[in-house]
Amino acid sequence: MDIIEMKNIKKDYPLGETIVHALRGVDLSVEEGGFISIIGPSGSGKTTLLNIIGCIDTATEGSVKIADEDITALDDKKLTNIRLFKVGFIFQTFNLIPVLNLLENVEFPLLLMKDKSWSRTDIRARAEKCIDDVGLKDFMEHRPAELSGGQRQRVAIARALVTKPQIVLADEPTANLDSETGANILKLMKHLNETENVTFVFSTHDPDVLQYASQVIKIKDGAIVEKAGSERQSRSRQAKGKSAGRGVKGGSRPKGRI
Amino acid sequence: MGIIPKIAWRNIQRHRGKSLVIGIILFLGALIMTIGNGVISGMEKGLRENIMNRFTGQIVIVSSNQVEDNVIFTPMGKDVEVITGYDKIKKVLEGRDYIDRFMPAAKGLTLILNENGDLGYSLVLGVRFEDYQKMFLHNVQLVEGAYLKNDDRGILISSGNRTRIFDEQGFWLVPRGRGVNEKNLPPEELKRRDSLDVRESLVLMGGSMENTSRDLKVDVKGIVRYEYLDEFWKNFSIMDIESFREAFQYVTASDSLVKISSEKQKILESDNLDNLFGDTLVEKAVTTGKRYDITGLIGKKVVQKRLDVDSGAYSLVFVKLKDAGRIGKSLEDLNAKLKAAGAEARAVSWKAAVGQLADMAMIMRGVATGFVLLIFFVAIIIIMNTLSMAALERVSEIGMMRAVGAQKSFIAKMFFAETAMISFIFGGAGILAGIGAVHLLDLLNITTDNHVLVLLFGGNVFRPGLDFIDILIGIVELVTVTAIATVYPLKVARGITPLDAIMRD
């Protein structure tokens, strides 16, 4: 099943009297459980593509379906809900709430969900598990300013995964990290992709990423110019025969491929 | 603690500088507003209590022919219409259990005649003085001479009037038989004491639009001042009601004793009185050269039996209620009852009756309120600007919150919670400090004779005060300022998108 379906996506930005064509008719389908890397030079449209998938930006033309829901014409409130319930974000610059400690930062999206079936204890337990998963159990009471860049990015990953989203989008998650830390972050993301069966879509300049990605999408001048690696990933997944929980409270979903 | 208050509180601590700027503005605004409210409230209360308790009562009854309700400070001393049929009014008033007491009076502007041709004037109240003092809490205080008794003839000149008359007409009034009290003479006049023109009586002529007045010589009985609001009432001298009626040609109590035969009545009712004075009626008087004993004639005028003073005319009736808070309902009832009784009179509130003075109080309140509003306006602008800047500085943080699923309403609540907390802490402190300052000012017992300050104080003593309702109004004002000041920054914060945060990064 395709978790992301994009058809003829165009995105134009007015810049004074000229119009910048950031995306020029992109078609893209992503199956559940993939670990997709979008690569391309600066200004090629990677971030714009991620923003549209993540309901942060809207397309000028074309249609987008996220988890079978057409988001093309949704209002701000509904787009926000999709971001909350279906998509997790990892930003280049970590973007944690500076006044909350690590645990509170990770709890934050769960508190926004206002799901009555989640008690305060459930929320805390879920947040603690995610923090434990990213290896920061001993830093729960620390504020973002007290953590290193790598640690902050781990917190961002934990926060992105805490709501058990169907998709996690990461815009150059290793760009501000040293190579060793960046590699560790990628390993962690890959591990979570496999254990939590979450679809990861991330943009990067890092050539090392290619060894982790199930598919690499190369984008240039607002158009997809190359797709590679889907078969490898698909075979690998089928061989491993993994499955993982779905939805906020659990469940399962079939393995996917690109 | 919920996530919103938690973030808000920690943000306040994180952005201490901005929080402090907004907080200090709110503190000062709330402080000044509370003190201002205390002063205004004290002024209103002072004026209300002083005027109602010491000058007019809560209700004033005037003739139904009286066009304007403002009967006390009428422009240029304009006439107040005479009330006819006071007996009916009295009956209505006596039958109302919500009325504490009442007293009739007459008010007018008298000219002060002087043999050198200079004309002066004085506002005069005609009353039974002992009743007046009882009604108005002995507000009239003696400076020189003696008080009037109920049946005495004479005038009590206010010291303010005495000074003005001296300045305008050049003579110094003293109570009959008391001589000059040098302590009360202006210092420069004391040096010319020997050449001072001292008088013990005045020749007054009631000023009326109908030219029905007459001149009347009245002895000065005493020099007085008003204990409260003397600055405003000092132009009023007080004379006995019968002298007043004579000066203004009202029907006096003596007049009401005169029995007129039916023939004379017919003549008085005749349309053409001139015919009565035709040539044939004029007869040359035969004089014997014997002089009349004038004192004998005056003696004949003395009414032997006790007068019913209420049988004469009045122009006002001051009414005090048992419950000063029932003015509106009492007015309604009184007017209905007066109408039903066929009394040609209507009841008006003290505020309407004192006209200008109540208006001035309102103007002072308006000025004070305007000042408070100006402070608030400035505060709103500064707070709005500071908060907007704060919102723009936090684009990354707010945009990220929006990216991970925070609705616009969450951002608005978070931002409002921050401002509300600052407002509660600093504004609350400002209100408490204001309450303390008002209490302190009250304890200082500041007194004044200054014309403007007397009005601002609502009396001669500065008695600012805050009721629960004033404090409540203060809180409402603070909440309003906070709410208004937050509207634009909230709009800015709500308008921040995740994309803004990404672009900022």
Asked if the model's pLDDT at residue B441 lies above 60, the reply is yes
Cα–Cα distances in Å, from B55 out to B220, B232, B236, B318, B430? 22, 11, 11, 8, 37
Write the pLDDT tens digit of every residue in A109-153. Answer: 999 988 778 888 999 999 998 898 888 889 999 999 999 888 888
Is A57–B405 a contact, with Cβ atoms under 8 angstroms apart? no
Kindly state whether residues B445 and B482 are assigned to the same domain.
yes
Residues B495 and B447 in one domain: yes
What tokens appear for B89 in the block? 């009014």
Tell me the CA distances in angstroms from B258 to B165, B264, B300, B311, one per residue in order: 37, 12, 13, 12
pLDDT given at position B128: 93
Interchain proximity A159–B404, CB inside 8 Å: yes
The residue among A76, A97, A248 with the most chain B CBs within 10 A of its CB, best to mutate, is A97
pLDDT score of B260: 60
In this prediction, residue B75 has a pLDDT band, given cuts at 50, 70 and 90, of low
Better pLDDT: B438 or B451: B438
**The pLDDT of residue B300:** 43
Average pLDDT for chain B:
84
Residues B169, B73 within the same domain = yes
Nearest to B10 among A91, A99, A108 (CB): A99
Q: Looking at beta carbons, which residues of chain A come within 8 Å of B498?
A: 51, 56, 83
Q: Which of residues 252-291 of B touch A (CB under 8 A)?
A: none
Range from B135-144, B201-210, B249-258, B471-480 that averages highest in pLDDT: B135-144
Count of domains forming chain B: 3
Confidence category of residue A250, pLDDT binned at 50, 70, 90: very low
Q: What is the pLDDT of residues B459-485, one digit of tens each?
A: 778 888 888 888 898 899 889 888 999
The pLDDT of residue B299 is above 60? no
Query: Are B105 and B44 within one domain?
Result: no
ipTM of the complex: 0.83
* Cα nearest neighbour of B396 on chain A: A95
pLDDT at B259 (0 to 100): 61
Lowest-confidence segment of A89-103, B72-86, B107-121, B330-344 by average pLDDT:
B72-86
- With CB atoms and an 8 Å threshold, state whether B14 touches A98: yes
A20 touches chain B (CB under 8 A): no
Query: Do the Cβ atoms of A77 and B406 come within 8 Å?
Result: no
Are B292 and B326 in a shared domain? no
Quote the distance between the C-alpha of residue B70 and its chain's center: 11
* Confidence grade of residue B275 (pLDDT, cut at 50, 70, 90): low
The answer to whether B488 touches B77, Cβ cutoff 8 Å, is no
Mean pLDDT check: name the lowest of A24-33, A176-185, B379-388: A176-185
**B504 in reach of chain A (CB within 8 A):** no
- The pLDDT value recorded for residue B287 is 54
Look at B405 and A81 and tell me if their CB atoms are within 8 Å: yes
Interchain proximity B3–A111, CB inside 8 Å? yes
Q: Are residues B40 and B71 in the same domain?
A: no
Of the candidates B250, B224, B222, the one whose C-alpha atom is nearest the C-alpha of residue B107 is B250
Domain that holds residue B98: 57-256+307-350
Q: Are residues B287 and B311 in the same domain?
A: no
In this complex, the residue of A80, A84, A91 whose CB is nearest that of residue B400 is A91
Q: Are residues B314 and B219 in the same domain?
A: yes
Q: How confident is the model at residue B209 (pLDDT cuts 50, 70, 90)?
A: low
Percentage of chain B beyond pLDDT 70 is 85
Query: Which is higher by pLDDT, B274 or A110?
Result: A110
> Is residue B45 domain-shared with residue B71, that is, in the same domain?
no
pTM to 2 decimals? 0.68
Would you place residue A94 in the very low, low, confident or very high pLDDT band (cuts 50, 70, 90)? Answer: low
Residue range B175-191, pLDDT digits in tens = 999 889 988 888 888 88
Q: Nearest-CA distance from B34 to chain A in Å?
A: 35
- Whether residue B271 has pLDDT greater than 70: no
pLDDT in the model for residue A149? 85
Q: Give the chain B residue whose CA is nearest to the CA of A108.
A: B3
Say whether B130 sits in a helix, a strand or coil: helix
Residues B119 and B21 in one domain: no
Pair (B169, B219) in one structural domain: yes
A14 touches chain B (CB under 8 A): no
Residue B76 and residue B92 in one domain = yes
For the stretch A38-84, pLDDT in tens is 988 888 899 899 999 999 888 999 999 998 889 888 899 999 999 99
Q: According to the model, what pLDDT value does residue B277 have? A: 53
Q: Count each helix (H run) and each strand (E run) in chain B, helices first.
A: 19, 12
Q: Under an 8 A CB cutoff, do B403 and A89 touch?
A: yes
Average pLDDT of the segment spanning A16-32 = 89
The verdict on a CB contact (< 8 Å) between A113 and B405 is yes
Q: Is the pLDDT of residue A255 over 60?
A: no
Residue B26: pLDDT above 90?
no
Q: For testing the chain B interface, which of A52, A80, A171 should be mutated: the one with the most B CBs within 10 Å?
A: A80
Domain boundary among B315, B332, B350: B350
